[in-house]
Structure 1
Amino acid sequence: MTDRVYPSSKPQAVNGTTTTANPAFPATKAQLYGATRPVYRPQPHPRRQRRSCCCSLCLWLTLLIILLLLLAAIAGAVIYVLYRPHRPDFSVTALRISQFNLTSSSQLNAKLNLTIAARNPNKKLVFYYDAMSVSVSSNGVDVSDGTVPAFVHGTKNTTALRVLTTSAAAQQLDTTSASTLKSDMKKGLPLKVRVDTKVKVKIGGLKTTKLRIRVSCDGIEATVPTGKSPTTASTSGSKCKVDLRIKIWKWTF
């Protein structure tokens, strides 16, 4: 029987250098792949990175919005201290009814003359009004409509706006509206005046964008003329309220 010679696994010196002999054969899987197998390093999860970026973006946007609101509040406070802005005042000073009758077929024929006083109480603010649409109603029933041309309202000034309002041509009322109006015509006609327009404000050398406003005046009592002589309504108890109308997309507040 012949003897087998196995190579030594001890390092041997060749020309002054030390070499390592091949490992014993057959080699194990750990010996074969251990030297070339890359070291495992855990990688960060991509979802966590995206969440971190979104959180950072939301934080910066929130801070930016807070900063803009703070700057707007500071600017508003400065404008208020310097200019002391006040809303314009409106009042119905006179209202005459020259025609007001309801036919048997519920057709309304009305003609009213109004005088509306617009007052600018500000010393440094000028108002630029667009054309105004004026409507007169009684208990929710539209009676007559008219318009006032655009005008410039100077500082510390009161302007009398005279407007003729008439009912729509061949205005036909429904049964409920006609019944309500007939009852009010006998005992006294409560009237409400509404004015819709846009206004631009000049502050010093600056002009704002156009803003929608609505003026609502109620507390007006009138009697219907029986002949050709017009009747004068009582406006002493009338009060007007000015509201800012803000439109966002399809909604108006």
Structure 2
Amino acid sequence: MGDRAYAPASKPIPVRATNGTANGGAGGPPRPAPPSMLPGGRVPPPPMYRPKPAQSRPPPRRPRRSARGWCCACCLWLTLVLVGLVFLGAIAAGVFYVVYRPQPPSFAVTSLRLAALNVSDSDALTSRIDFTVTARNPNDKIAFAYGDMAASFSADGAPLGDGVVPGFLHAAGNTTVIRGAASATAATIDPVQAAALRSKKSHAMSAEMDAKVGFQIGRFKSKRINVRVVCAGFSAGLAKPTPPPAPAPAPDAEPTVVVAAAPAPARGRGRGRGRPPRSVVRTSSSSSSSSSSGSGGGKMTPTDAKCKVRIKIWIWSF
């Protein structure tokens, strides 16, 4: 028998069925159709991707900066500006100090006279004080312009009187003598302080003077700031009144005799009769029954009271 040649078996090609079955009627989901084959069994390439034109694309959105970022940027710039201003101010202050060498003025209460002092039974105080304050300006190129100066005095912790000194210009390198007066009329004080004033002959004094002061350099004038001068460490007693000089009689007039009424006796507490009072302050209910309320003369008593100058800018004191 000779050999029989057989044709090679070809791969079966699935056939798409129209009624949902294929290859002998086996059930199942329909299979996708095979891609069309090119000659030679090649698979066709996929379709080329063509991008859309740029005009049809929407513009990209820029990310928005949050409010927190704006706040941080503002704080940073504000801090830099403040640091720069402080730095420039420090440089200007250093140059000013090197060129002008500024020094604060000095004050001293050089003399004081307690012309009148009366404390009534109802603890009402009536007083008068004449004082002299010496102000020195140690600067050679800086002048000080003072406004009205309010002066207040106290004795043994009790307010003794207030007064106002008119403003003045304190020239550079000049020494100015300030004379003024302070008084109180029927001012009610604490009973303990009133008793202390009655029982002492010499009183520990203190003074405070407040004014607004500005400095001048040539034509430049600065704004005025509050300055307080505090003086302490001196004492004063009631000045003895000096009798007024008797008028000279006219040469052609007849001599006249002036009869003065005898003063009412002063009432003292705890003192024997005939003994002179130890205190210069008397307790009386009327202004005519106290010998210490005289407003007569009496010399100014020199003092050596040094004063401290305090500068107040807004809420800071130096």
TM-score normalised to structure 2 length? 0.61
Contact 2:310–2:317, Cα closer than 8 Å, also in 1 = no
Higher helix share: 1
Equivalent pairs counted in the alignment come to 221
**Equivalent of residue 243 in structure 1, options 302, 310, 313:** 310
Instruction: Give 1:191's aligned residue.
Output: 205
**Equivalent of residue 231 in structure 2, options 190, 203, 217:** 217
Instruction: Give 1:201's aligned residue.
Output: 215
Instruction: Give 1:84's aligned residue.
Output: 101
> Which amino acid is 1:244 matched to?
I
Per-residue deviation, 1:9? 7.7
> Which amino acid is 1:239 matched to?
K
Q: How does 1:1-253 map to 2 (within 5 A)?
A: 2-4=18-20, 8=33, 10=35, 49-167=66-184, 169-183=185-199, 185-186=200-201, 188-225=202-239, 226=280, 227=291, 228=294, 230=298, 232-236=300-304, 238-248=305-315
Alpha-carbon displacement from aligned partner over 1:169-220 (angstroms, at most 9, x marks no partner): 321112233233334x34x200001110001111233221111100001111
Per-residue deviation, 1:89? 1.1
> Which amino acid is 1:157 matched to?
N
Per-residue deviation, 1:145? 0.7
Change (3 A) 1:252 1:86: closer
Gaps of 5+ in 2: 1-16, 21-29, 39-44, 49-61, 240-279, 281-290
Alpha-carbon displacement from aligned partner over 1:145-185 (angstroms, at most 9, x marks no partner): 11111111111111111101101x321112233233334x3
Change (3 A) 1:245 1:18: closer
Change (3 A) 1:6 1:210: same
Per-residue deviation, 1:56? 2.6
Q: Distance in 2 between matches of 1:80 and 1:9?
A: 100
Gaps of 5+ in 1: 21-42
Higher strand share: 1
Please tell me the root mean square deviation across aligned C-alpha atoms, in Å: 3.1
Change (3 A) 1:11 1:84: farther
Alpha-carbon displacement from aligned partner over 1:41-82 (angstroms, at most 9, x marks no partner): xx9897xx3333323322222222121111111101111111
Change (3 A) 1:7 1:178: same
Change (3 A) 1:73 1:204: farther
Contact 2:110–2:302, Cα closer than 8 Å, also in 1 = no
Q: Secondary structure at the match of 1:235?
A: strand
Change (3 A) 1:55 1:98: same
